């Protein structure tokens, strides 16, 4: 009888070799690496998107603060109510109420002194911004004329402007000289 090699018996299957295990091992290494890369790409994509959203929010806050401050600083004694309505229409209820109180006291002074002003924002920069509020620093030139200064003069001011988000628009919440 011949020596039988257990590997040569007809009912036995050959044992897997090390070469056959390599693709399986590679798969065990490659799959987690691919998953990690996909997660990293997704996270980086989210960060880029978030950065664009933040930049858009900052940009609109700066532009709206500039526009609202120019509106606030521009008035004409001939139609004080038009300026009052324009400012209060784009202000928070609290700011609108305060502005009405101040404007009521100035109405007679502006009328008798023939006061007029044109505001121009020279520069603005966002100090802070969140989803629902922003603080913007504004440099304002205000060209003022009245009976005592008929040729006019330019007053330069720095302001800290608070904005409050209402839906898709910014409302004037505060405007303080700095």
DSSP assignments along 113-168, one per residue: HT-EEEEEEEEEEEEEE-SSEEEEEEEEEEEEE-SSSTT-EEEEEEEEEEEEEETT
Report pLDDT for 51.
83
Report pLDDT for 22.
65
Report pLDDT for 124.
97
Report pLDDT for 9.
53
Mean pLDDT (10-residue bins), the chain, 178 residues: 53 56 71 87 86 90 97 92 93 96 86 93 96 96 94 96 95 96
């Amino acid at each position: 009888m011949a020596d039988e090699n257990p590997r040569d018996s007809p009912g036995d299957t050959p044992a897997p070799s090390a070469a056959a295990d390599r693709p399986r091992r590679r798969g065990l290494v490659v799959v987690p690496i691919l998953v990690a890369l996909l997660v990293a790409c997704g996270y980086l994509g989210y960060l880029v998107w978030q950065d664009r959203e933040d930049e858009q929010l900052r940009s609109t806050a700066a532009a709206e603060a500039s526009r609202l401050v120019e509106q606030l600083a521009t008035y004409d004694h001939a139609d004080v109510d038009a300026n009052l309505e324009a400012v209060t229409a784009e202000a928070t209820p609290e700011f609108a109420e305060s502005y009405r109180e101040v404007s009521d006291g100035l109405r007679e002074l502006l009328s008798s002194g023939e006061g007029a002003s044109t505001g121009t924002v020279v520069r603005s920069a966002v100090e802070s911004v969140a989803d629902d509020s922003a603080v913007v620093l504004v440099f304002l030139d205000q060209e003022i004329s009245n009976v005592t200064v008929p040729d006019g003069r330019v007053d330069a001011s720095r302001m800290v402007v608070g904005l409050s988000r209402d839906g898709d628009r910014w409302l004037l919440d505060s405007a303080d000289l700095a």
